[in-house]
Structure 1
Amino acid sequence: MADIVIMGAGLAGVIMAYEMKDAMRPEDRLTVVTKDPIYHFVPSNPWVAVGWRTREAVEIDLAPTLARRGIEFRPVPVAKLDPEAKRLELEDGSTLAYDYLVIATGPELAFDEIEGFGPNGHTSSVCHIDHAEKIALSLEDFCKKPGAIITGAVQGASCYGPAYEFTFIIEAELRRRKIRDQVPMTFVTSEPYIGHLGLDGVGDTKGLLESALREKHIKWMTSSRVKKVESGKMVVEEIADDGAVKATRELPFGMAMMLPAFRGIKPLRGIDGLVNPRGFVLADRHQQNERYKNIFAVGVCVAIPPMGPTPVPCGVPKTGFMIESMVTAAAKNIGEILRGRKPVYRGSWNAICLADFGDTGVAFVAQPQIPPRNVNWSASGRWVHAAKIGFEKYFIRKMRKGTSEPFYETAALNMLGIGKLKEVRKGEDAPAD
C-alpha cells in the first residue's frame, strides 16, 4: 500500500484527487490536505464582484464529495514540508506522512510587494471570493458617488484574463445602472501590448481586445509598473523598452481592481531543489520534481519560465486546460510508478480560454500554449458569454459529482473542432482519459 497525499484543494487539487483515485491501485490510500474546506469556483469571481453570482452558487463543501469517492480529507493548513522525511507538518501540530506527494497549492498573492496595494490596502482583487465579495459590498456606495475606475494587472502578474473580464463586466454593470457616462475607466497592465496575456498573444487577441477597449471608451496603459497606491491615487511608471522610466503618472480613482503577482506559498519557499527563487515548484515534463522523485506538481504552483524579456516582468498563465493536462499526466505517471513502471505521460499544455465581457466575450485556443503553435485561434461574440455560463454550470456540477471527466478537451472537440488532444507516452500517442 502507498500513501498518496495531495496538498491543496483548488481547481488543480480537486480534479487531481478525482483522477488519482481512478489511477491508483485499490489498496492505496489517498488524502487531500488543504487550508480551506470549501472549494470556490474562481472563474466566477468577476461575476460575484458585481453581484451576478452569490458565494453559495459557486461553492462546494468538499468533505462529503471526497468522502463519496473514498478520499480522506484533512482541512488543516500545512505549516512545513519536509521532503527528506517525506512528511507534512500541519498547523494543528499533527503530521502527515506520504509515499507520494502532489503539490497543487496554487499561489500566494504577493500584495505586500507594492506599498498600499491589495484588499488590506487601497485596491481590490478577484483572485479570491472574499476579495470579490468585498467589491460587491462596496459597489453600491461607489455607484451613489461614481468616480474613476482603474483595472488591470501589476508587474510580475501571470494571470491577465480575469483582469480583462472584470474590466468589461464592471463596464456592463455600469451601463445597466445608466451611470457609465460618469465613470472614466483606465486599464493598467504590465503587458507590453494589449492582448499579450503572458503568451505573446493568441491569434488576434491584440486586435480584438484593443478594439473592445476602444469601443467601450476605456483608456489603457501598457508596459506599466505600479510604484505605490494611496487612498484614491495610484502612482504608475511607464517603462521604455530599455527598462528606463519614461514617465510617472498619478492616476486618481474611486475604485481600483488590480491583479497581483504570484509566488509560491511559504511552506515551500527556500527548499533547495524543489522550488525556484520565487517559490514555484520545479517539475519536468512528467510533472515530477527531479530531486525528489516522489513529489509531483500541478497547477499554478508549477514553475514555468516567462515567454521572453519584456520591459515589465510578465508571467505565463496556467489556464484550466493546461492544468487538466498536468493533472492527467501526473495521475497516470504515479499510477505507472505504483505498478513498477516508469513515468511516461506528459501534459499537452494547450490553452483554451473563454473570457466573458458581461454580454459578449473573447475565446482563444493555443495549441501548444507556448509558441510556435499548431493552432493559434481567437474569436469574439455574444456566444462566448453564453459558453462561459455553460462552462461554469458544467464544471461546478462535475466538481460536486466527483467525476474526473476532462471538460476542456470535451469543449475543444465539441465546440472548436480542433481534434483529439493527446498525452504522449514513450514518444507515441496515448489517449488522455
Structure 2
Amino acid sequence: MAHVVVLGAGLGGAIMAYELKDQLRNEDTVTVVTKDPTYHFVPSNPWIAVGWRKREDITVDLAPTMAKRGIDFIPVAAQQVHPKENRVELIDGRSISYDYLVIATGPELAFDEIEGLGPHGGFTQSVCHIDHAEKAEEAFQRLLANPGPVIIGAAQGASCFGPAYEFLFILETALRRAKIRDRVPMTFVTPEPYVGHLGLDGVGDTKGLLESEMRAKHIKWMTSTKVKKVADGQMTVEEVNEDGTTKPEKMLPFAYSMMLPAFRGIKPVSGIEGLSNPRGFTIVDQHQQNPTFRNIFAVGVCVAIPPMGPTAVPCGVPKTGFMIESMVTATAHNIGNLVRGKAADEVGTWNAVCLADFGDGGIAFVAQPQIPPRNVNWSSSGKWVHLAKVGFEKYFMRKLRQGKSEPFYESLALKVLGINKLKDTTKG
C-alpha cells in the first residue's frame, strides 16, 4: 500500500488529488494538506476586483468533495517538508509521513522585494488571491467616487503577465460603463521587452493585438521598466535600455494601482539542497520528478522553469492552466506506474491554451509547445473570448464541486478553437 500526500489544493493540487484516485490502486491512499479549506477560482479574481463576482460565486468547500472521492483532507498549513525523512511537518505540530509527495503549493508572493508594493502595508492592489481582489474592489469603489490616474502592470521578475493585461482591460471596461473613463488616464507598466511578450516571447500576434487594443482605448504603456518603490499615490519607475543602461527615474502619480509581484517558492519547500532552486521553486525533470528525491513530484506554479532568455529587466516564464493540467496528468500516471513497480514514462505536453478576458471581448492564444520554437503559434481576438471565459468558469466550478478528474483544457480547445490535436506530437 502506498500513501501519496498532495501539498496544496489550488488549480493543480485539487485536480492532482482527483487524478491520483483514478490512477492508484484500491489499497493506496491520498491525503491533501492545504492551508485553506476552500478552493478559489483564481482566474475570476479580476472580476471580483470590479464587483462582477462575489466570493461565494468562485469558491468551493473542498472537505465534502474530497470525502466523496475517498481523499483524506487536512486543512492545516505545512511548516516544513523533510524529504530525507519522507514527512511533512504541519504548523500544529503534527507530521504526515508519505511514500510519495506531490508539491502543488503555488507561489509565495514577493511583495516585500519592492518598497511600498502590495495590499498589505503597501499602496498597490493585487488580484493574485481572492482576499486581495476584495480589497482591490474596495479601492475601485473609491476610484469611482474620486477618479484619477491608474497604473496597472507587473513588477520586475514577475512571470504571470496574463492577469495584468486582463485586469487592465476589464478595469477600462468597468470605467467606461461607469461613464468616468474620460477622467481616468491609464498606464500599463511592465518588465516585458515589448507589449504582449507574456514571458513567452509572444504567441502569434499578441504584440500587435494588445498594442492595437491599448491604442484604441487610449492606454499608454512602459516596457522594460523596473518599479523602484511605491509611495501613497506615487510610483517611482526606471526604464532600462537593451544594453542595460537606464533612463532617468520617473515619478508616476496614481489614484489606483494594481501591480502583480514576482513569485518565489513557499518557505516549507525552500532552501532544501537538491529540492529547490535559489528562488525556492521545486526542481523537476521531464516526468515532473525531483532528480534528487525521486519520490517527490511537483506541478503548477511552484515548478522551477528557467527564463526564456536574457531581457533588459527580468521576466519569468508563466505556468498556464493547460500546462499545469498536463503536469498533473503526467504526474498521476507516473506515480501510478511507480506503485506498480514500473518506471515513470509520461511527459507533460507543456502547451498553452489561454483565454484573456477584457470584459466585453478578449484575446485567445495557443502555443504548442509553450516555449518556442513552436508547432502551433496562434492568437485571435473577439467578443467570443469573453463568452468562452465565462463558460469555462462555470464548467470548471462544476467540475471541482463534483470531484471530477478528466482533462478539460484539451476538450475545451477542441470544441472552442477547433484544433485537431494538442498532445505532444513527438511522442508518437
Same fold (TM over 0.5): yes
Q: CA deviation at 1:353?
A: 0.3
2:102 is paired with a residue whose SS is strand
- Indicate yes or no: 2:397 matched with 1:396: yes
Matches within 5 A, 1:70-219: 70-120=70-120, 121-219=122-220
Q: Which residue type is aligned with residue 129 of structure 1?
A: I
State the shift of 1:7 in Å: 0.2
Cα distance in 2, alignment partners of residues 176 and 3 from structure 1: 53
Residue 263 of structure 1 is matched in structure 2 by 264
> What SS does structure 1 have at the residue aligned with 2:367?
strand
What is the Cα-based RMSD across aligned positions, in Å? 0.9
C-alpha distance in structure 2 between counterparts of 1:196 and 1:230, whole Å: 28
Deviations 1:275-330 (A, max 9, x none): 10000000000000000000000000000010100000000000000000000000
DSSP-derived class of the 1:281 partner: coil
Offset from partner CA, 1:126-179 (integer Å, 9 cap, x none): 000000000112222221111100000010000000000000001100000100
| Separation (CA, whole Å) in 2 of partners of 1:155 and 1:51 | 28
Whether the 8 Å CA contact 1:202–1:365 is kept in 2: the answer is: yes
Whether contact under 8 Å (1:4, 1:30) holds in the other structure is yes
- Contact 1:345/1:423, CA 8 A, preserved across alignment: no
Alpha-carbon separation, structure 2, partners of 1:115 and 1:73: 37
Q: Which amino acid aligns with 1:7?
A: L
Structure 1 residue 418 corresponds to structure 2 residue 407: no
How many Å separate the matches in 1 of 2:37 and 2:243? 46
> 2: distance between equivalents of 1:318 and 1:3?
27
Give the match's secondary structure for 1:355: strand
State the 4+ residue runs in structure 1 displaced beyond 6 angstroms.
none
SS at 1:14 equivalent: helix
Unaligned 5+ segments in structure 2 are none
Structure 2 distance, partners of 1:244, 1:34, is 44
| AA aligned opposite 1:61 | D
Identity of aligned residues (%): 69
Instruction: Answer yes or no: is the 8 Å Cα contact 1:188–1:220 preserved in 2.
Output: yes
Aligned partner of 1:140: which letter? Q
Closer/same/farther in 2, CA of residues 134 and 3 from structure 1, 3 Å limit: same
Aligned pairs (5 A) from 1:276-295: 276-295=277-296
Residue pair 1:333, 1:345 contacting (<8 A) in 2 also: yes
**What whole-Å deviation, never above 9, does each CA across 1:217-264 have from its counterpart, x for those lacking one?**
000000000000000000000001122212311000000000000000
C-alpha distance in 1, partners of 2:98/2:62?
21
2:274 counterpart SS class: coil
Cα distance between partner residues in 2 of 1:109 and 1:244 = 28
- Equivalent residue letter for 1:207: G
| Count of residue correspondences | 427
Contact 2:368-2:422 at 8 Å conserved across structures: no
1:5 aligns to 2:5 (yes or no): yes
Task: Please give the alpha-carbon distance, in whole angstroms, between the structure 1 residues aligned to 2:104 and 2:127.
Answer: 20
- Whether the 8 Å CA contact 1:356–1:388 is kept in 2: the answer is yes
Distance 1:160 1:404 in 2: 27
Q: TM-score, normalised by structure 1?
A: 0.98
